[in-house]
Amino acid sequence: MGRIVLISTGGTIASRWQGSGFAADADGSEVVATAPLPEGITVEVVDLFSVNSPRLTTAHQLTLLRTVHEVLADPGVDGIVVTHGTDTLEESAFLVDLHHHDPRSVVFTGSQRPMGTADGDGPGNLYDALLTAATTRGLGVLIAFAGRVHAARGTVKTQAVALDAFADPSKELLGKIGFGKVAVLRSPQRSEPLPLPAMPELPPRVDMVMHHADGDPVLLNAAVEAGARGIVLIGTGAGNATPEIVDAVKAAVARGVLVALTTRVAAGPVTEIYTHGGAVDLVAAGAVPTGTLRAGQARIAVLSALLAATDPAEQARVLRRTLAAAGPVLVDA
């Protein structure tokens, strides 16, 4: 069915016991050797790095993004599978999706149980990812996990240790895998792909700040003073905070900081309903609502906007255009 390139980055699917816990240890060829290959598929391995995904940096993720583009420059490649730790998989997959302009699929997968365990889920997930990469087109970047296919945009890790670890809490399932076939149930929402960014010597700092009872602007202001060029404010409810935080957002935006507004609630869009510090006031202060995107992916959207432009007003416009497929977001003309 095709020639698939597997890009190995580590994670649980490549982890072994290290004496006190598990950590990424195996290379991509070892990971591939654990799984049966779908009929007609050949696999080539790129060992990019081998780390537990909480240790990933923006530099790692941008290197992965560039590697995907370099691999797809070969017209003989039929698709890509990326093996990745589950903790930050949703972030890396969304970054690649925001810049993915090729009809060939890039499919992320991993596992919840380390390699070599009798009940490990890595081999099955890898088989499904290879099958999905070889047989789908025009769907952007996907996540194949536990017999399900998810669009990169909006999909988050919803289970800490259970095998069916990923879902988009705000949308229906994209597809299912079984009996050697991939059934696509709907078309994913995607924004116009962004150009491939330059590799910065020092990536822009983008911080996340969560609101809570007794929440004040201290951490948001500290992020600005630490040099953050972008901030994701994680509000309560439909995207709410306090008047004091509204003032801090306004001051940050005035200093050229790109502020995005999401919510700590699992599903549903950020919505301008409440004033007195709510989303109505936060958006008026300059925060960009992220629709149904949650914190990790909202941060990636902010990062991509910062890398796409230098002018703060243009960065905000890029962010709004990027978020337009994530829910009800006002897009500047």
> How many whole angstroms separate alpha carbon 136 and alpha carbon 4?
12
Output the six-digit token pair for 110: 């991993």
Q: Quick check: is 109 catalytic?
A: no
297 neighbors 153 (Cβ within 8 angstroms): yes
297 neighbors 191 (Cβ within 8 angstroms): no
Unique residue bearing structure tokens 């919840």: 112
Name which of 293, 226, 282 is nearest 259 in CA terms. 282
> How many whole angstroms separate alpha carbon 329 and alpha carbon 321?
9
Strand-pairing partners, residue 148, are 145, 176
Torsion of CA 289, 293, 297, 302, to 10 degrees: -20
> How many whole angstroms separate alpha carbon 196 and alpha carbon 237?
35
Catalytic residue among 9, 12, 109, 263: 12
Would you name the residues annotated as active-site residues? 12
